[in-house]
Amino acid sequence: MFSHLNASQQPHMVDVSQKTATLRMARAQARVVVGNNILALFNNGDIQTPKGAVFQTAIIAGIMAAKRTDELIPLCHSLGLDGCDILITTQPPDQVVIDCTARVTGKTGVEMEALTGATVAALTIYDMCKSISPQIVIQEVKLIEKRGGKSDFIYQENTLQS
């Protein structure tokens, strides 16, 4: 049974009122294939464009998005995040890797916030670099790990471990 369907199979927000607040953390990752021509522009920790510093802007956009996940995803709980960190690195010859870690002390997890933060950071990189090359591909977005709540897991290729 899906958690977002009630006994009548109608959508509903999961009731977490009886849960205990615990420290919860989730880390998500997005990979963006930008091409080696864009990576060649990487200088002093960022790529400068007429729109500004690409990675700095993507970090801010990702954090802002993580904070507003409940406004974007139906039935998500509103969470006041305790923290959100985004790390952007390059992976030659042609990729940018975005890691978003979200933390909250609450009654529900922060997986959607971490996934949203990584995704919006990837979209921001796409938007800021599309004039250089229209062949940018957001290759994958995935949950890497989750801690707190009922169960923890760490993503492994083709296998989820609880």
Judge contact between 136 and 35, C-beta under 8 A. yes
Question: Is 127 considered catalytic here?
Answer: yes
Residue 106 has a CB neighbour count (10 Å cut-off) of 22
Active-site option among 70, 85, 94, 127:
127
Closest CA to 27 of 53, 66, 56: 66
Q: Where are the alpha helices (DSSP H) in 7-133?
A: 36-39, 54-67, 69-72, 111-129
Reply yes or no: is the peptide bond before residue 50 cis, omega within 30 of 0. Answer: no
Question: Active-site residues: which are they?
Answer: 127
